[in-house]
Structure 1
């Protein structure tokens, strides 16, 4: 049985409740929903049954580990985007800390979105995300950069300036490859803390225009340390998120990453943002459709069906 968008939320919720143990049904009917539809169904389900569908899906006992994993993924899909990122951030802060997941949040979200993530994090976990990042021990370069980016989302100007971009590009060059040795962490973190992501993107584009190569190409120097590696990752995500997300998906599907949650994290978080563009980049860079890569790399079953459903998702509302 499947339901259509013409059905009332109440009837849909009753069918979901009836088929909670049927992973195939849940995939067919939940994976295709838009964020607004998920919100309506989650609210209606709570009104009818007094329980949160997110928690129900996350705690549903399934016959196999694969089905349980799929239900957990469906549960994350039903979260609103801010809750989802708050949960991702909390999980990322569990040892070993997943800095890449945190970098994605602070470089690939609008400032208004980041502020809502901070609120959702506090509401859900009764903690401050900024403080949890600040408490990371031992202190490390990613921590400093993440704190700078968090500050930038709270205090930056919404306008972008070519003049500021040119000044920042020259300053980065002067305190980086314009002198011998590694880059100056204080200068980089100061710039990151005071500018918007859009302003940073213009700065790195201006750097390329002035000096004839990207800032990240300079950071490839093998003698550099962890701070330069962290800045390079952050810069890549700021300059071209779809390219970095496509690379992340590819390494997940090829089994060459230690970031085990990245596949679901990226597919869910980018579904209504830029997943179409990510798939275009994926095809151009790796010579295959994302859907085909999923079929080739993920064993047949509920989990693969869920990933394919996300990759072929069409939004009608």
Structure 2
């Protein structure tokens, strides 16, 4: 199935851009804001439709839609609406900029975005990043990351993963053997071999390699990485393995962790729900139910409330 068909945010049939612009203006003008209208429009239009709305909004009002949303809403709800109104590549670029801002780097955001995006998405976010910062993503990453982790992140940021869909079982077995000899079978670990294979090979090839690895070593590749590596490199390579096996399951786990325990990590929750809403939210919901015996809709309802919670539940798209 095409990825877009697995999303909950879809294009609106009989889309009328001027009607939407008028409705948004009305919802934000005067005293008070009609939040329901903002939620309804921004969660029931495809990304390209929302870009058409933004363009027409600016032409009609001489104002920028995202700025008006910021001025009219606040907190997590504001962040959620703004992200829904922006193009996906701009969101990814903004999240990466924020992750690298100030002292220290939020490596977990770099890992999540670069481990889970396709070459096309990485090329698009790189272009958006350059437009926002006047520097290339690679240039900025070089000043933020180093060592083996840096090498792996830079490889992913090139967006040059092999995209062939043909799987050669012999080559996958060779790679599985190479990984086994670079880790479990060796005193010390040859990290560069793990980086080269996991950051460059195609997703179908890696799936087969992971199966072959289990046959050869008797344990999962993830377990071996966790034993052999540590820190950011371990987190990155484990996340690549998880995304190779099932991107929806990877994001179901992310969403679960953002709501687990005391307090909610709204930043992660917003990022995942918005970035996957148009792609594979239906699959994330199914994986969530399978992994945690509870529906994502119920989990969101019990964890967040108000307009923010209402909007997330619309993106979630229903009870399972």
TM-score (norm 1): 0.85
Counterpart among 182, 187, 198 of residue 193 in structure 2: 187
Residue in 2 that maps onto 1:270: 276
Residue in 1 that maps onto 2:316: 311
Counterpart among 209, 217, 221 of residue 211 in structure 1: 217
What is the correspondence of 1:230-249 to structure 2 with a 5 Å cutoff? Answer: 230-249=236-255
Deviations 1:266-285 (A, max 9, x none): 00011121111111111111
Counterpart among 52, 57, 63 of residue 51 in structure 1: 63
Deviations 1:227-277 (A, max 9, x none): 334422332233222112111111111246996511010000111211111
- Structure 1 unmatched runs, 5+: none
Residue in 1 that maps onto 2:53: 41
Task: Give the direction of change, closer, same or farther, for the CA distance of 1:155–1:301 in structure 2 (3 Å limit).
Answer: closer
- RMSD value, Cα: 2.5
Is 1:12 aligned to residue 24 of structure 2? no
Q: 2:114 touches 2:122 (CA, 8 Å); kept in 1?
A: yes
How many positions carry a matched residue from both structures?
Answer: 300
Deviations 1:130-181 (A, max 9, x none): 12111116x3543232112224x23635354423322211111111101233
Stretch moving more, 300-309 or 185-194? 185-194
- Structure 2 unmatched runs, 5+: 1-11
When you count helix as a share of all residues, which structure comes out higher? 2
TM-score (norm 2): 0.84
Deviations 1:40-92 (A, max 9, x none): 212221221233312322x3144xxxx44312211111112211211122122
Residue in 1 that maps onto 2:139: 131
Task: Give the direction of change, closer, same or farther, for the CA distance of 1:194–1:56 in structure 2 (3 Å limit).
Answer: same
How far does residue 286 in structure 1 lie from its aligned partner after superposition? 0.9
